[in-house]
Structure 1
Amino acid sequence: MKKIIMSAALSLLGLTLSVVHADENAIRQALAKSMPSVTVESVKPSEISGLFEVTVGGNIFYVSGDGKYLIQGHLVDVAARTDLTEEKLSGTRKQAIEKLGLDKMIVFKPKISKYTVSVFTDIDCGYCRKLHSEIDQYMAEGITIQYLFFPRAGKGSDSYSKAVSVWCAADRKAALTAAKKGDKLEAKTCDNPVDQHMQLAEDFEVKGTPMIVTEKGNIFPGYLPAKQLIEALEDERNPK
């Protein structure tokens, strides 16, 4: 009897996996046809039967099994009062930043680093300039800051050109500091990751700058003084 039950269970599992695989293929094909520029990184069943979780860059969508319908939003466990999507998004953000790599960011690192944050910044944003004007305070708290550019005016704007010029400068950190002070930079062009930064910002649904992303992939929107940021990072690492 046990062998019969086990055999039936394995057959059911195999059937279920076949259906899931078929749904995944249908979703990938549908998205490839309707959104050819989108790279689907993963497709897997969501917590809701018949709805699949699709990861694209640093974002998560929900798609019907036939690929016809897409839902953009957060899935919430009402009973547990938990944002399931946000929990997973933190992981995708973390992976996306790691995949980008340090060689494509401008990094300010203290002698002893306790925490690392990635900051989407716009050279002409007032609070971005305020944050950078206090860079020594962040360094004193042991916070490494990894800058990514998000010129909110878009590609081709003056802010975009400044970001490219900073990246192409011989001393990127010095050029960024000068630009944040409002100094005029020598216009330069070269291979640069600014478009990649902007795509990542779009994937992360960045609405304004600065936007701080923690090592765990959580988001702190807006400017935070060094003392307040270190407290938030300590709370994240050691939740009460």
Structure 2
Amino acid sequence: MLNRLIPIAFAALFGVSAIAQAPAQAPAAAPGAVKAAAPAPASAKADPRDAIAKKIEGLKPDDVRMSAIPGLYEIARGSQIGYVSGDARYAILGDLIDLDADANLSENRRRTIRNRLIDTVPESEMVVYGAKTAPYTLTIFTDIDCGYCRKMHSQMAEYNRLGIRVRYLFFPRSGPNTESWQKAESVWCATNRNDALTRAKNGETVKSSKCPTSIVARDFELGQKLGVDGTPAIFLPTGELLPGYSPPSELVHYLKTGKMP
């Protein structure tokens, strides 16, 4: 049972075309057959990253790098992290922990990747609430029809008062060609996006002229790369992901101390 589940789980994350397949057995040599030439020296062998990238659908060699364990390679698909042996035969699901440093190396890597992906979106293409001088700037994926997103937005003044600046990106959970998606497009096309988003979250109908709406599709795709599977999805300046709603006082306490009260 376990042998079946591991490849399935890995394929679900990374789209693996073939994982953990044993190499085909070569036929026995006939008597008197000429022996094959000796294998090429290690320096002449192909880069393991190429073999790993070929094994996993959609992966590029640049998405593969050596991990902290010799012979084990880290692969990244969006912000998802996995590990594959240098011969591209074995895959490992789970986080890599440095026991001496008491550090989750996989999570540290995820945070770096998350920040890099979020930084590809200019602030001018976000809906921002709060002063640039605020001590904390959070990037939040929101769904206009999400109840906890609405609750969080209703407390925006308190978040801002406590020094939290919010940068919204759209993540209509229902997907393209749905009412929630259309609402996000209407907000983005509005002349005053901040006012339009507040009205939409209050249940009002926002009417606006048509405009290029690829911004919603881009945000949604980015959220998927970042591993967003619910809203609100709160990304801290460190790259940490906090899924779900947090009251203003609890969130600012966590930002200051790293612990929830």
TM-score, normalising length from structure 2?
A: 0.74
Q: Which has the higher helix share?
A: 1
Where in structure 1 are there 5+ consecutive unaligned residues? 1-14
- 1:233 equivalenced with 2:255 (yes/no): yes
Q: 1:156 is matched with which residue: 161, 171, 177? A: 177
Q: Please name the residue that 1:173 is paired with.
A: 194
Per-residue deviation at 1:53? 1.0
Q: Please name the residue that 1:6 is paired with.
A: none
Per-residue deviation at 1:163? 0.7
- The structure-2 alpha-carbon separation of the partners of 1:17 and 1:233, relative to structure 1 and needing over 3 Å to count, comes to farther
1:181-214 CA-partner distances (Å, limit 9, x unpaired): 0001116543232122112221222221111110
Where in structure 2 are there 5+ consecutive unaligned residues? 1-40
The residue identity in structure 1 corresponding to 2:130 is K
- The structure-2 alpha-carbon separation of the partners of 1:193 and 1:71, relative to structure 1 and needing over 3 Å to count, comes to farther
Q: Kindly report the root-mean-square deviation, in angstroms, between the aligned alpha carbons of the 2 structures.
A: 2.6
Tell me the SS of whatever aligns to 1:207: coil
Query: Do the aligned partners of 1:58 and 1:200 also contact (CA within 8 Å) in 2?
Result: no
CA distance in 2, matches of 1:228, 1:40: 42
1:90-130 CA-partner distances (Å, limit 9, x unpaired): 11111111122212211112374111001111100001000
- 1:219 equivalenced with 2:241 (yes/no): yes
Tell me the SS of whatever aligns to 1:99: coil
Q: 2:50 is matched with which residue: 25, 39, 52? A: 25
Tell me the SS of whatever aligns to 1:100: coil
Q: Please name the residue that 1:99 is paired with.
A: 120
The 5-angstrom pairing of residues 47-126 of structure 1 reads 47-67=68-88, 70-77=91-98, 82-110=103-131, 112-126=133-147
Between the aligned residues of both structures, percent identity stands at: 38
Q: Which moved more, 1:60-69 or 1:87-96?
A: 60-69
Query: Do the aligned partners of 2:95 and 2:105 also contact (CA within 8 Å) in 1?
Result: yes
CA distance in 2, matches of 1:231, 1:162: 33
The residue identity in structure 1 corresponding to 2:51 is A
Per-residue deviation at 1:75? 2.6
- The structure-2 alpha-carbon separation of the partners of 1:45 and 1:111, relative to structure 1 and needing over 3 Å to count, comes to closer
Q: Which moved more, 1:84-93 or 1:107-116?
A: 107-116
